[in-house]
Amino acid sequence: MASLDSVSLAILLGAALIMAGILSSLLALRFGAPLLLVFLLIGMLAGDSGPGQLSFDDVRSTYLVGSVALALILFDGGLKTRFQSIRAVLAPSTVLATVGVLLTALVTAPFAKYVLDLNWSESLLVGAVVASTDAAAVFLLVHAQGLRLRPRVGATLEAESGTNDPFAVFLTLMLVQYISLGQSSAAHIALEFIREAGLGAIVGVIGGRLVVVGLNRVALPQGLHAPFVATAALVIFGAAQIAHASGFLAVYLAGIIIGNRPTRAHNSVVTFLDAATWLAQIVMFVMLGLLVSPQRLVSSIGPAVLVALVLMLLARPLAVFLCLAPFRFNWREKLFIAWTGLRGAVAIFLASIPMLVGLSKAYLYFDVAFVVVFISLLLQGWTLAPAARLLHVALPRADRGPRRVELDLPGQLEQQLVGYPVRSKSLYFRRGLIPSWSKPTLVIRDERILSPTEADPIAPGDYIYLLAPPEKAEALDRFFVDMAPSSAPDPHLLGDFTVSGEHTLGELAAIYGVAVGEEQAKLTLADYFDIHLDHAPKEGAELVLDPIVLVARSISGGRVSVIGLRLPEEEEVAVPLTRMQTFRRKLAEIWSQVAGV
């Protein structure tokens, strides 16, 4: 009976730890503390050196849980990644995810060798363990701090943090193998990398396509679609690993394939995986915290802090500036990308590999990784929002989106039902604008179901349901959120919405129903300004794209980087002119008279 009681006690304490981690998120979000750091601290407090007095040293279980958690996190990241949004930044993101990781490890290694008294191969292993950024840490903190990054910066960070983990895992495993066996060669490492990356990509693409086919053709009972997809992701990961391919790359690519194709129960799958990855992160951080020994940290905390500072202030910025030099990023964007290289559970997970294979000084790697992650989350995590605003890479944060209801329609995959409450200050109510690809279907008013014709005119407080493609449903939010108040003297100077200059005219036309030619549809908005302005673009420059006026809001590198959209109004409101505007108008009138003569 004692053994049964111990199992029950383990279940109770494990569930209590996870519940404490979830509840601690309320404090982290309220006071701005990096959320993931809280979970590490909970694990430390529960360990044998803390009040919890739990003795835990099962590295194998930690590695197993970490592998599953990281696979689910990467799969979820791929599932939410719109290929169209990262296509323009694939080249710089790939360079950062490979060459950037290698450069970061190489620059960190000499300092690790000196302060930790290691040989070159061991110091390179330290650099490889802490070289990759953590996708979960980056975007969790960006979301928690209410940041809305410029599209190119956000897409670059998203693609880099999702794809650099496989290379960091490969680099770590190669160095562990070299230290264990004492032999390897550059040619062998290059061939292994090509084989793992190539085979991992093949497994991921094929696996993703098979999941899409199975999801759409197999009549699963309601509620089983999401568990099926999550389990399939782990099958893809395990199959790739058994084939000695990169399972992490395979599962990330499979997520991108599934997320960018029409599938059944897409919304329920995303919601389920959000919860699954959230739980996986909590469990992983708590278990990693349990492995930490504060007494052991005392002897290495000083050198580890120096390694963390070199990594954040020298190695990562140097790697970012060198890797992004061939691409059109300004220095502010490069500096922010360098500062946003947060280290998370991936670094501690990689540090558990030397412990698993029994390398000498294995606990030193783990302790250094823990200190690096702790300082990164503490210092970079707390300063992420101020850095984004100081470097002007954060766009104004829109109000919290409207309450959106999404319903899958049986028998087809192309359309779903999307519902919103109609607000009195929303763009839909005030201007009657709606994208051409959406179709109002029904209106609920006072618990009565009406057709759009019967409900006309729509009134605030109504609930309207529209047919829309699943991949575009989120784009409807902007039409049902409160419009920002206009600013004097000209309420339309900056436009109703802002978009990145990297978006194409075709994307704009799809949302607002603007008619553009096939050739023009491929142009970015920045290109459109370059072609149609007869001078260098300046803030406030305007171009008409019937019925929308494009307004240049921000200039970067001589090109328009942020554009305001001035949408048509039913009535034009007379606005008092300033003295400068009056002077300019009179000057224009005189010039037109002179030109006419």
Q: Return averaged pLDDT per consecutive 10 residues of the chain, 597 residues in all.
A: 69 72 60 66 75 74 85 86 77 91 93 90 91 75 67 82 83 86 70 86 93 86 85 93 88 90 80 80 80 80 92 94 91 91 82 85 88 87 84 66 72 79 83 77 89 88 87 76 51 53 80 74 77 67 81 75 72 42 47 41
Is the distance from CB of 167 to CB of 98 less than 8 angstroms?
Answer: yes
Place of tokens 């169209």: 84
Burial of 121 (0-12, 13-18, 19+ CB in 10 A): middle
Delimit the CATH 1.20.1530.20 region(s) of the chain: 58-390
Q: How far apart are alpha carbons 253 and 273 in whole angstroms?
A: 16
- Please report the pLDDT score of residue 495 as a whole number: 41
- What 337-341 contacts at long range (C-beta under 8 Å, 24+ apart), as own/partner pairs, is 337/96, 337/153, 337/156, 337/157, 337/160, 339/312, 339/380, 339/383, 339/384, 339/387, 340/133, 340/138, 340/157, 340/380, 340/384, 340/387, 341/104, 341/133, 341/312, 341/316, 341/376, 341/380
What pLDDT shows up at residue 555? 79
Q: How far is CA 575 from CA 488, 494, 572, 586, in A?
A: 9, 15, 9, 17
Topology adopted by domain 58-390:
Na+/H+ antiporter like fold (1.20.1530)
Residues of the chain with CATH 3.30.70.1450: 405-479
CATH: 3.10.450.50, 1.20.1250.20, 3.30.465.10, 3.40.50.300. Which one for 497-596?
3.30.465.10
Any idea which residue has 């942020």 for tokens? 562
Cα 579 to the center of its chain, rounded Å: 46
pLDDT at 531: 66
d(CA 188, CA 101): 19
Tokens of 370: 């823990």
- The size of the chain, in residues, is 597
| In contact, 251 and 236? CB cutoff 8 Å | yes
Q: Which helix (H) or strand (E) holds 258?
A: helix 247-259
Calpha distance 352→356 (Å, rounded): 6
Q: What is the 3-state secondary structure (H, E, C) of 311-364?
A: HHHHHHHHHHHHHCCCCCCCHHHHHHHHHCCCCCHHHHHHHHHHHHHCCCCHHH
| Dist. CA 538–CA 210, nearest whole Å | 50
Alpha carbon distance 156, 91 (integer Å): 9
Look-up of token digits 């389990």: 231
> Where does 479-578 have alpha helices with state H?
505-512, 518-521, 525-532
Residues 6+ apart with CB under 8 A from 594: none
Residue with tokens 């939010």: 477
pLDDT at residue 588, rounded to an integer: 47
What's the pLDDT at 578? 47
**CA Rg, the chain, in Å?**
27
Distances 144 to 42, 77, 267 between C-alpha atoms, Å: 20, 17, 22
pLDDT of residue 487: 39
Which neighbouring-strand residues pair with 562? 500, 554
Say how far residue 197 (Cα) sits from the centre of its chain.
Answer: 22
Does CATH number 3.30.70.1450 belong to domain 405-479? yes
Residues of the chain within CATH 3.30.465.10 domain(s) are 497-596
